[in-house]
Amino acid sequence: MKRTLRHLADGREIIYFDHDGEHERTAEDTRDLPPVAAASEIRLDPLTREWVAMAAHRQTRTYKPPADLCPLDPTTPGRPTEIPEPDYDVVVFENRFPSFSQNAHGDPSTVDDLGLVPTAPGRARCEVVCFSSDHGGSFSQLSPERVRLVVDAWADRTLALGETPGVEQVYPFENRGEEIGVTLSHPHGQIYGYPFVTPKTERMLDVARAYREEHGRPVMGDVLAAEQKSGARVLVEGEHWTAFVPPAARWPVHIQVVPHRQVPDIPALTDAERDDFARVYLDVLRRCDALYDRPLPYIAAWHQAPVRRDRDLAWLHLELFSVLRAKDKLKYLAGSESGMAVWINDATPEQIAERLRAAG
Q: Domain spans of the chain?
A: 2-196, 200-359
pLDDT digit string, tens, across residues 178-198: 999 888 889 999 999 999 999
Fold topology of 200-359: HIT family, subunit A (3.30.428)
pLDDT the model gives residue 58: 64
Please give the positions annotated as active site: 188
Between 247 and 22, whose confidence is greater? 247
Record the pTM.
0.95
Q: What is the mean pLDDT of residues 334-354?
A: 95
> What are the counts of helices (DSSP H) followed by strands (DSSP E) for the chain?
6, 17
pLDDT the model gives residue 259: 98
pLDDT the model gives residue 68: 77
Is the alpha carbon torsion for 82, 84, 86, 92 positive or negative? negative
Partner residues linked to 129 by β-bridges:
92, 189
pLDDT bin (cut points 50, 70, 90) of residue 59 is: low
Fold topology of 2-196: HIT family, subunit A (3.30.428)
Q: How far apart are CA 202 and CA 119, in angstroms?
A: 20
The answer on pLDDT for 63 being more than 60 is: no
The answer on pLDDT for 327 being more than 70 is: yes
Q: How far apart are CA 141 and CA 285, in angstroms?
A: 9
Is residue 171 within 8 Å of 128, Cβ to Cβ? Answer: no
For the ranges 89-103, 223-237, 274-288, the lowest mean pLDDT is seen at 89-103
| Category of 216 on φ-ψ map: left (φ > 0), alpha (ψ -120 to 50) or beta | left
pLDDT the model gives residue 230: 98
The answer on pLDDT for 107 being more than 60 is: yes
Sequence-ordered list of residues with C-beta below 8 angstroms from that of 313, at least 6 positions apart, any chain: 205, 208, 209, 212, 218, 305
- Do 2-196 and 200-359 fold alike per CATH? yes
